[in-house]
Amino acid sequence: MYTNLTKYPGLGFRHHIHGNRLHHCLILQATYLLQKRAGKWVLDPLEDQPAFVMADQFRTVLASPGTGRAGSDARAQQQVSSLLLESELLPFKPHADVLISGDAIAPEGRAAQNWLVGVRIGGWSKLLKISGPRSWERERRGNWRLSAPEAAERVPLLYEHAYGGTVSTGRDDETAAYDQNPSGIGYLGALTQLPADVRALAAPSIEYPDDETPAEPGRIQRVAGFGPIPMHWQPRAQRLGTIDEARIRRDGPAYPDDFDPAYWQTAPADQWLPYLARGQEVELFNLIEGEPKVKFALPRWLGFAAVRSGGNNRYPDMHVDTLAIDTVKRTVRLNWRLAVANDVDHPDWIGMELAIPEVLYPEGEPLPQPEPDTQADRWRAALARDQGEGTRA
């Protein structure tokens, strides 16, 4: 049914979306190494392409041994942690996700108390403010003050270093979590006063540039980060809609009527972009060790599918809806995605392909859209190859 005509990982599956209609969901994935060649940053395809991540993978819980109070083993009790890798087994994304993992690197690699890191794609950009380790400290008279940050050369870009957290309520093993980011630090829940023996509380190291850290703990802050958000955290969970258990018992599993497809977006909402374009320029600031500014262009591959139904072919584009950058491994991952409605096409075969139109068409000739009259010859060859070699996935 689904044929991957590329050398990159490809996947096809069926899923009920968009009004619980059956769709054929297609995904292509390519991972590149970001490296400098002749003074220019380029993306080279990895020889060994990583496979799809089929289920969310979480980090080991970061928790300090202690009292079960704020910022200690309450998180470990709840087994709360941020995502290490997000599942790509998603049927559709209405926007493109931009995801960044790795470290924030101090300018010129010299330890600093505060600095900015950021990313720019076209006219969109996002900056975060980074601080070295710091804490709210209780003075002798009981007042709190925010300590000066320690100098640091790097800070991991983890939600564990942003505002949030899980705290003990003081009732048996009961805990309270900040549903925007249960893995963070600084959240006190309903506590209005910390026990007298608590002399210090870690403060967030990752914030938005225009947010001011409060002088004492307890005030709600915005969660800042570049990484993926688990589906059970509030920013995504709220988009799932209203669960009607009676309807599920009667009709079986189905998405709620008020389901928001943005539920499938894994990036923070301020990192949603229109589907990314071929050759689009990306800039990273203080995110690559030894390189304060890195600029590169996305590959010029055009992703598209061939949908065969009753002897007729249609060639819809696949959209780049995920850009994931690992600044430590210096890898860049792109995902192309397409959902084909079964009740529209009634397909009996679907193929997935990547191509560079500039190679297919002479220089200066307008690049046509992937319509049957412009791609038919290529796809006749692809169909013949498929029939000769069998299905690859």
Instruction: Provide the 8-state DSSP code for 318.
Output: P
Give the per-residue pLDDT at 355.
Answer: 82
Give the per-residue pLDDT at 191.
Answer: 67
List phi, psi (to 5°) of 211.
Answer: -95, 135
Residue-range domain boundaries for the chain: 1-52+88-93+294-393, 56-86+96-229+266-273
Q: Kindly give the parts of the chain with pLDDT less than 70.
A: 61-79, 170, 191-197, 357-393
Sheet (strand 114-121) strand order? 206-207, 124-131, 114-121, 281-288, 291-297
DSSP 360-387: HS-TTS----S-HHHHHHHHHHHHHHHH
- Whole-model pTM: value is 0.86
Cβ contact 136:201 at 8 Å: yes
CA distance 321 to 98: 8
CA distance 229 to 58: 11
CA distance 164 to 190: 13
Give the per-residue pLDDT at 360.
Answer: 46
Give the per-residue pLDDT at 66.
Answer: 34
